[in-house]
Structure 1
Amino acid sequence: MSAKKIILLIFLSVFSVNALSQQPFPFEEQYKLARYLTGKFPDSSDIVLNSIIEAAQKDDKPEYLAKAYYLKSFNSYVKSDAENTIRYAGIVFDISEKNHYAVGKALAYRMYGTQYAKLGLLEQSEENLSKGIKEVEHLDTDEGHELRGMIYNSYLIFLNEKEYKKKLYYSRKSISEYLGIQNQTRRNELLISAYTNMGYNLSEINQFRESMQYLKKALALVGNDNNYLKCCILHDIGFSFSKNKQPDSAVHYYRKALYMADAFGFTEKKIEITGNLEQAYVAKAEPDSAKTYKIQHLLLKDSASYNKSITVGKVLAGEKKEYSRKLNQSQLLSGALIAACTILIFVLGAIGIRIKQLNEKNRKITAEIYQKGIVQAPYEEDSKDPDEDGKDTEQMTTPIKISPEVEENIVRGLQAFEENLEFNNRNVAKYYLANKLNVNTKYLSAVIKKHKNANFNQYINALRIGYIVEQLKNDPQYRKYKINHLAEISGYSSHSAFSHEFKKIVGIHPSAFIKSLTRVS
């Protein structure tokens, strides 16, 4: 066992003892440790992550719970365990969705997108990566820059060699995001993969010098203990030499990368390295070595393809199940909407019929008034207007004797009152009119009852409403006035009082009368 592994085991033992103590669990420190171990010793990282998960569940720390499962998903991805990669990403998403944790959802989308790209589900991959960016697009923190950079890196997986412009675009976007991180240590850790990707992409388009500059930057930052990234950089340097027609140098770096991939179980990377080693030995004209790595490559690829086919089947089955669930839900909703729409159609139909009936009724009333005028309402006793002696004039049973001359004077006075439109005066009252005609209110009420077949209030209201009706019939300009203006013209103190009397006398609301009048005039 190497010295590093012994030190690691000692550290993990100490950590386990501390975890059993009564001290608060150091979530941030342990998460950083697990993240550090992820690219070097994935199995050791999982040990730390299990402790974080247990403590996070106990102390109700959903953010650390989500991030711990994210690293377990990434560890599974590094070990080419597609099924667990997706399973753990699903746990991350569920925790984050429940707790409204946008960062966690972005992490889940990133792992879904990365793994789906490896499985050849390119459409699902791009969809998930886009969702991940959207979750954190406005997060102006170190964490936001880190997540966007990682997701932009993941876009490179499903782009093919011909899409080099897009690859360079996303590589530069990733580097730009990482350079925005304030924490220098974390910034340098992330720039390693970004520089590596940029170097590889430049190799693909034969820009050897620029490619090596980025790869050397990555190698300088990676150190000696980040095994996975160092393995990737060594492989990409070999690839750059291969594209530059230097197969000897290419084989040298490929073999160093393969040694690390073998030692730490980076199966996915071994497939890529053995395939490139075969091509490098072909370029060196060493067919036996080329055949050896071809066999290794095919065996690894067949094993990975089998696991991949199983996982793809499960993913598609899961999507089919989810689609069926949503379809059933949609059908139930559609049924409810159809029922609601049917009821609404019946209700609207009934309303429409009722509106049509009312419009026809209003039209008939308006047409009759337009041709014949307002029908005189029957006389009503008026108990609201006592005479000057405090007795109800209208309800007196003893007949009032009025001389013919006085009666004729009152009739002539009423005629002048009507011709001068004095009934539209807001302050008109029985006492006012009696005083104007120089008679008492008893005589005035008696004459109005005899000649107008109405009490005083009925008489005034009939005159006012009749005047407005005539104006509406004969002058279209009046039909443009608002109801409160018509009320003011006819002496009413309010819109409601006018509307009440209009409907009482005419039979319909003034606005309905005006609307119908345009159809019959």
Structure 2
Amino acid sequence: MKKIYLFLYIIYPVLFISQSINGFKIPDSLKNKNINYIENAYNQVFQIDNEKAEFYANIILHKGKIENEKNLIYDGYYNIARIKNLKGENGHPYADSLIALVKNKIYKDYPSKAYIIKGILYNNEGNYKSALEQYAIALKLNQNENQEQFYYIKKLIAILKTATEEYKEALPLFIEYYLYEKNKINSNNKNEKDYLSSIFSLSNIYAKCKNYQKSNEFADLGIKECKKYKNYSNYYYLIMLKGINYFYLKKLSLSLGYLESVEASLRKNKDYTNLGILYYFIGRVKYESHMEKEAITYFIKSDSISFANKNFEPIKRDGYEIIIDYYKKKGDLNNQLKFIDKLIYSDSIIAETQKNLSKEIFKKYDTPLLIKEKEGLIKNLNSKNSIFSWLIIFLLITSALFIYIIKKYRQKIKTYKKQAKLLLEKNENRKSSSKENENILSNTNKQDDVDNKKSISSNPKFQLIINKIELFEKNKDFLRKNITLDTLSKELDTNRDYLSKLINELKGKNFSQYINELRINYIISELKSNEKIRKYTIAAISEDIGFNNSESFTNAFKKITGTLPSYFIKLLNEENKTLNN
């Protein structure tokens, strides 16, 4: 058996090499070109024309095989894995071949670099925990404290922190990486591609931190430097980022111009992930510009790319809600139901991905950067027993934390369901009231209300306002959007102080609570009696009853009832189904 294992160990890399270059031939025009020419050609088309980049990467690998040059073989596999990743194809066989070749060897930037590319592949698949594990191995294998690799891994960990929405923690890591590359660009060890990449990373994280002006400053710097060094690998992505920034800055015409200018490049590179995001933002610009029909076209394009490539980014979610509301207004039930199903599926995929994005898991698991910088444990763990012990500790901490998070999540869900049931029972047992729109959830003492009314009604001026408030409730004027204390006081021909005092004394709550409870009380009644409304999206319901967005409606509903509107609707549908059966 030992001989068999030894044979497999020797032959394993060779099998991968022979498969990876099977049938590939170097064109006659490039056979006599030296390797520096080929590598420069690869760098010039990287992220600009990925088909050509893969072609040059295969030449590097092929030359390495023919000439038995280890560095060319290693770099060939590394470059092919990167390009496959950018094209949304499977780069793992090439990364695995590379790891098999460099395992237990110390050569140039390897084996650390092999685990870096493996981590990048996992990261782009949304498998963040596995990516972190590969970066930890890469950092441990970083030979002689290689600064280049050390700062590059810092950047990769910053990308992971960006995925967990820890933008403020990621920002200083990106700044460090940028300053390192900026200092290096003026030295003999300069790397133009990495320098330009550091500018894009910094521009992108400023955008994530909602500092769009600062993001645009670095985007402009990046565009200028791309032209200066004649390296356009990040050029179109910087332009796209500017387009997104201008959308958030409400400069819609500028935004549209930048966004539309990069579509052809993304299509050429088969960068479907970014193309889907591009179409979403063009849709948003069109929608905000009141070009609803054109906006829907782009949202549907974005949706098609998501389903074709199984990429569902949370940022694109509200595009589905806009599509659903559009078909709702059109009375197109089939398309409405179709995109409701798509939204539910998209949410399920995003929810699954979110399991890998727990900030607490990252903190407990710890980052390889902290291990390297603060504790130096990786360098000192030379014995197998120590490594095994630490691995067990990490696994135990991670498992315990995961169980705790799941438990808390289930408890929260259980509470929501229980509160939804209590709310339904409360509605069913509620006694008829002579006053229309009485708040069923108010904790105000009724006797106190009577006493307050007696004290206020003695003033005829106040009594007139009370009558107007009752008419306001009866006419359901509280369903209008953007009602404030100031606007209502003007409508009722009084001043805001009188109105605020009356509502506080009569209702036992402030103005905002009063309006929210009227709306929530109304929609609870409507949901219970009107089956059609239950089919609306949360965004559509919130719009109908005067809330500015679905988030403020959901928060108000949860604060007042102790549950979420989605659970209450689900319970109503289940009860209706039971009655029909």
TM-score, normalized by length of structure 1? 0.51
Alignment partner, residue 227 of structure 2: 179
Match of residue 259, structure 2, among 212, 215, 240: 215
Are residues 224 and 305 of structure 1, via their aligned partners in 2, closer, same or farther at CA, if it must alter by over 3 Å?
closer
C-alpha deviations, 1:183-222, integer Å up to 9, x for none?
Answer: xxxx333212211111111112222222222223322323
Are residues 235 and 177 of structure 1, via their aligned partners in 2, closer, same or farther at CA, if it must alter by over 3 Å?
farther
- Spell out the pairing of 1:66-145 with structure 2 (5 A cutoff): 66-96=112-142, 98-140=143-185, 141=190, 142-145=192-195
Q: Are 1:226 and 2:278 counterparts?
A: no
CA–CA distance in 2 between the matches of 1:10 and 1:251?
A: 45
Letter in 1 for 2:122: S
Q: Are 1:199 and 2:243 counterparts?
A: yes
> SS of 1:63's equivalent?
coil
Q: Are 1:251 and 2:296 counterparts?
A: yes
Quote the offset at 1:308 in angstroms: 1.9
CA–CA distance in 2 between the matches of 1:328 and 1:30?
A: 31
Question: Is the CA contact (8 Å cut-off) linking 2:105 and 2:111 kept in structure 1?
Answer: no
Alignment partner, residue 217 of structure 2: 169
Quote the offset at 1:14 in angstroms: 4.8
Alignment partner, residue 461 of structure 2: none
CA–CA distance in 1 between the matches of 2:205 and 2:233?
A: 19
Quote the offset at 1:116 in angstroms: 0.8
Alignment partner, residue 464 of structure 1: none
Q: Are 1:148 and 2:198 counterparts?
A: yes
Q: 5+ residue gaps in structure 2?
A: 1-17, 25-57, 330-335, 378-581
Question: Is the CA contact (8 Å cut-off) linking 1:110 and 1:132 kept in structure 2?
Answer: yes
Are residues 144 and 122 of structure 1, via their aligned partners in 2, closer, same or farther at CA, if it must alter by over 3 Å?
closer
CA–CA distance in 2 between the matches of 1:224 and 1:122?
A: 28
Alignment partner, residue 340 of structure 1: none
- Spell out the pairing of 1:93-492 with structure 2 (5 A cutoff): 93-96=139-142, 98-140=143-185, 141=190, 142-156=192-206, 158-160=208-210, 163-182=211-230, 187-222=231-266, 223=268, 225-267=270-312, 269=313, 271-282=314-325, 285-286=328-329, 288=337, 291-309=340-358, 312-318=360-366
The size of the alignment, in residue pairs, is: 310
CA–CA distance in 1 between the matches of 2:198 and 2:212?
A: 20
C-alpha deviations, 1:285-337, integer Å up to 9, x for none?
Answer: 5564664444234323322232322x6414334269968x96899xxxxxxxx
> SS of 1:80's equivalent?
coil
> SS of 2:305's equivalent?
helix
Question: Is the CA contact (8 Å cut-off) linking 2:178 and 2:199 kept in structure 1?
Answer: no
TM-score, normalized by length of structure 2? 0.46
Question: Is the CA contact (8 Å cut-off) linking 1:102 and 1:136 kept in structure 2?
Answer: no
Are residues 302 and 104 of structure 1, via their aligned partners in 2, closer, same or farther at CA, if it must alter by over 3 Å?
same
C-alpha deviations, 1:22-63, integer Å up to 9, x for none?
Answer: 7324344443332222121342x2222222333344763342
Question: Is the CA contact (8 Å cut-off) linking 1:251 and 1:281 kept in structure 2?
Answer: no
Question: Is the CA contact (8 Å cut-off) linking 2:159 and 2:170 kept in structure 1?
Answer: yes
CA–CA distance in 2 between the matches of 1:42 and 1:217?
A: 25
Alignment partner, residue 479 of structure 2: none
Quote the offset at 1:138 in angstroms: 0.8
> SS of 1:139's equivalent?
helix
C-alpha deviations, 1:337-368, integer Å up to 9, x for none?
Answer: xxxxxxxxxxxxxxxxxxxxxxxxxxxxxxxx
Q: 5+ residue gaps in structure 1?
A: 1-8, 330-521
CA–CA distance in 1 between the matches of 2:369 and 2:219?
A: 36
Are residues 293 and 157 of structure 1, via their aligned partners in 2, closer, same or farther at CA, if it must alter by over 3 Å?
farther
Alignment partner, residue 500 of structure 2: none
RMSD: 3.7
Structure (1 or 2) with the larger CA radius of gyration: 1
CA–CA distance in 2 between the matches of 1:47 and 1:237?
A: 36
Letter in 1 for 2:139: F
